[in-house]
Each structure stands twice: as structure tokens, then as C-alpha cells.
Amino acid sequence: MNPIRALLSRLQRRHLELDDQQRQRLRALPPPPPPALATPLHRQRFVVLDLETTGLNLSRDIVISIGAVAIDGGAIDMAQQFECTLRRQVKVNEAVLIHGIAPSELAAGQPPAEALLSFMEFAADSVMLAFHAPFDQRMLTRALKHELGYSLENPFLDVADLAPMLFPEVLTRRGSLDFWMDYFGLDIAQRHHASADALATAEIALILFNRARRMGIERVDELAERVRYWQRAREAAQRSI
């Protein structure tokens, strides 16, 4: 069978495995916001996401936990949080040990399709933030396509790029989440746990948004364009070395 047809066939089978209520919920998901979103930063709802996975291989490893918190009205809304462990059967490995998620917790987790559908209902049409966002974006995209036949189109911003762009006097390259937490004096318990890392990223994001506004960057599209320019300049500087 043609590889593309085989993939479509697998996705169709996955979609057929959803019950009627899940298919209705899937159809009811709102469309994503446009890429050039001219919403003021303090009015935009952001969903700050952190995924725990079985490893860093984008083709082989899988999502085992999702943690997220919303920034709404320019503040972290602790009433808008999402945390879910996905039901998986995996071998105990270094990644699972680091995350502190036991195989028994994975076995008792939510079915992946239900967990991912619930997360997308939580995320809705928000802009997503993550630390090292391309990894989370690609892992989430693959999981949604595999389990739901759903195409993720929500725009992402990478806090790992926003921080050095907005604070070049501190660091001109990407730093770790721990580095920026230490620099900003943040203390979050239970690090390397999805919900804790999402909260830490959200607190850093609020500091960055405040800095952006002081620099005259008021809207989501302006911030996205500024970070794209910073990325291109950094890549050009690296090529010239």
C-alpha cells in the first residue's frame, strides 16, 4: 500500500475508535487564532504547556503527561490549570524515573485520546507558550494526529527564545529553564513535573511580557515578529563564526 494511503488509513481507524460523544467534542473545538494575531499581550489568553515524554526522539518517543496553566487577563489564573497522565504501557527508563511517574500511574492514567481531547478543549483557541516550544509542539502535533486525526494549528511562542531576546544583557543565547528561574528569583517545587514546569514557565512569561511592553512591544504579532528577527540574526551570527 502507498505509504500516504497507509497513514490515512491508520488515522481513519483511530478516528473511528472515538465514541459519538468524543467525535462531537472534536468537531466542536474552536478554530485556532490567525498567525498574525494583533491582540494586546495583556488581553490574549495564553496556555503555558509542558509535556513529559518517554524521551527526546520526535519519531519514536511518546507523551506520558501534560501540564498546563492559563495566563488570562495578564495574570496566571490558578483556576485554569490542566494536568493529566496518559495511560501508557512503557518500560521503566531514565525518562520515567526523572519525571517521577511510576508505571502504575501510567497504567491508571486516562486513555490517550480522551486526555488529548480534554487538553485541546482546555487550550481552545489560545496561543501556546512552552520552554523549548518546538519540541512540545512537534510531540503534541504527532500525538493529536495519531490519536484523534486532529491537526494542531495553534500558534506557539518559545519562552527559551523570548528570554534572551528581551534580556540580552543577561544572556545572548538560549539558557535553561533552571537558569532563568534562578535569575528571576523564582522558586517552584517539584521541578521536572509537567504542571510545576508549566507554572515556572508561566511566571517567567509574565516577566517577559512586562519587559516587552516596556520596550514598546504591545501585541502578540509584534512579539512573534520580533522573536523571528532575533532568531534569524542569531542564526546568521552563528554561520559567520
Query: In order of start, what are the domains of the chain with their CATH numbers?
Result: 37-240 (3.30.420.10)
Please give the model's pTM, rounded to 2 decimal places: 0.87
Q: Distance between CA atoms of 43 and 72, rounded to whole angstroms?
A: 7
Residues of the chain predicted below pLDDT 70? 1-16, 91-100, 189-192, 241
List the alpha helices (DSSP H) in the chain: 3-17, 20-27, 94-99, 103-107, 112-123, 133-148, 159-166, 177-184, 194-214, 220-240
Q: Are strands 127-130 and 75-85 parallel, antiparallel or unpaired?
A: unpaired
pLDDT at 55: 86
CB-CB contact of 20 with 28 (8 Å): no
4: region left, alpha or beta (phi > 0 left; psi from -120 to 50 alpha): alpha
pLDDT at 100: 66
pLDDT at 105: 80
Residue located via cell numbers 496566571: 76
Q: Distance between CA atoms of 139 and 131, rounded to whole angstroms?
A: 13
Q: Cell numbers for 27, please give them.
A: 468537531
Q: What is the DSSP string of 122-139?
A: HHTTPEEEETTHHHHHHH
